[in-house]
Amino acid sequence: MYSYALLEKGCYYLIQEEESSSIVLIRVILESDHCMFISRYGETEETQHWKRKTDAIYEIIELLDDKMVKEWEASYFNSEGAYYEDEE
């Protein structure tokens, strides 16, 4: 088992919080003495919330490098509008 304390501020990670959960992309935005403020990216939305540094992570699958982040951002943010139809 891993914990959020292992993650670094400003970095993007693919993680699995529980053995049976799906893989998610997160980014650590802020770190306090006891908590981490993270962005969690789903298929169509971004959520932000606090996690204790001691909260368990089943697996830290990988730390994304800058090139991977740029490729993901281009795909994620370009497809955001695809879920909303124009009302004309």
Which among 68, 65, 69, 49 has a CA at the least distance from the CA of 4? Answer: 49
Please provide the DSSP assignment of 2-16 as one string: EEGGGS-TT-EEEEE
Ranges of beta strands (E only) in the chain are: 2-3, 12-16, 24-31, 35-41, 46-52, 56-57, 59-63
Residue 42 lies in a domain: yes
> In this predicted model, what pLDDT tens digit does every residue of 22-66 receive, in sequence order?
999 999 999 999 999 999 987 767 899 999 999 999 999 999 999
CA distance 61 to 87: 41
pTM: 0.80
User: Per the domain annotation, does 6 fall within a domain?
Assistant: yes
- The whole-angstrom separation of Cα 2 and Cα 69 is 23
Domain that holds residue 31: 2-83
Task: Grade residue 72 by pLDDT with cuts at 50, 70 and 90.
Answer: confident
Q: What is the pLDDT of residue 74?
A: 85
pLDDT at 81: 53
Number of domains within the chain: 1
Q: Is 53 inside any structural domain? A: yes
Q: Is residue 88 part of a domain?
A: no
